[in-house]
C-alpha cells in the first residue's frame, strides 16, 4: 500500500489499529487503544467503510490529528467535507508516488501543527 511508505517518510512507524484483530480480547478495545496511542491517524474514506467512519469518530472524540484520504468526493460524507481531504486519481500513472508525497507532507504538518488537524469543537457546537 501507499500508506506505509508515506507514514515512514514522515518519520513515524505505521501501525494499523486493527492489526491484531485475531488475538483475544475485544476488537473495539484494541482499536481504541491504537487510536489513543497514535500521534496522527490516516483514514482512507474510499468505499465509505462504516468501520473507518466509526474509528474516525473515535479519533475526533480523542482530539487526535487526522489526515483524510479518498479517491473521490462522493465517498466523503457531508459531515466531514469541512475537513481537508487528500484526493487521488488511480488513473494517473504516478498516483502512488504523488499520494505518498502528499500523505507524508500532511502527516508532517499534523505533527508540527496538530491544532490544524484536530476537530476542536463537536459538530454543531
Interval 27-69: pLDDT, tens? 888 888 889 999 999 999 999 999 999 999 999 999 999 999 9
pTM as predicted: 0.88
Structural domain includes residue 124: no
Structural domain includes residue 123: no
**Count of domains in the chain?**
1
Residue 72's domain spans which residues? 3-117
Q: Do 92 and 98 contact (CB within 8 A), yes or no?
A: yes
pLDDT tens track for 59-98: 999 999 999 999 999 999 998 988 899 999 999 999 999 9
The CATH number for 19's domain is 3.40.50
Structural domain includes residue 60: yes
> How many Cα atoms within 13 Å fall on the side-chain side of residue 113?
5
Q: For residues 32 and 26, what is the distance between their CA atoms, to the nearest angstrom?
A: 10
Q: For residues 12 and 21, what is the distance between their CA atoms, to the nearest angstrom?
A: 22
Q: For residues 64 and 66, what is the distance between their CA atoms, to the nearest angstrom?
A: 6
pLDDT of residue 26: 82
Residue 15 has pLDDT above 90, yes or no: no
pLDDT of residue 1: 80
Amino acid at each position: 500500500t501507499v500508506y506505509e511508505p508515506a507514514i515512514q517518510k514522515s518519520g513515524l512507524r505505521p501501525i494499523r489499529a486493527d492489526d491484531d484483530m485475531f488475538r483475544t480480547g475485544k476488537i473495539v478495545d484494541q482499536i481504541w487503544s491504537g487510536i489513543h496511542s497514535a500521534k496522527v491517524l490516516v483514514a482512507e474514506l474510499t468505499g465509505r467503510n462504516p468501520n473507518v467512519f466509526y474509528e474516525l469518530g473515535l479519533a475526533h472524540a480523542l482530539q487526535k490529528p487526522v489526515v483524510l484520504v479518498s479517491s473521490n468526493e462522493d465517498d466523503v460524507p457531508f459531515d466531514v467535507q469541512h475537513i481537508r481531504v487528500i484526493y487521488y486519481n488511480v488513473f494517473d500513472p504516478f498516483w502512488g508516488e504523488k499520494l505518498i508525497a502528499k500523505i507524508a507532507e500532511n502527516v508532517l504538518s499534523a505533527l508540527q501543527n496538530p491544532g490544524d488537524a484536530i476537530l476542536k469543537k463537536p459538530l454543531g457546537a
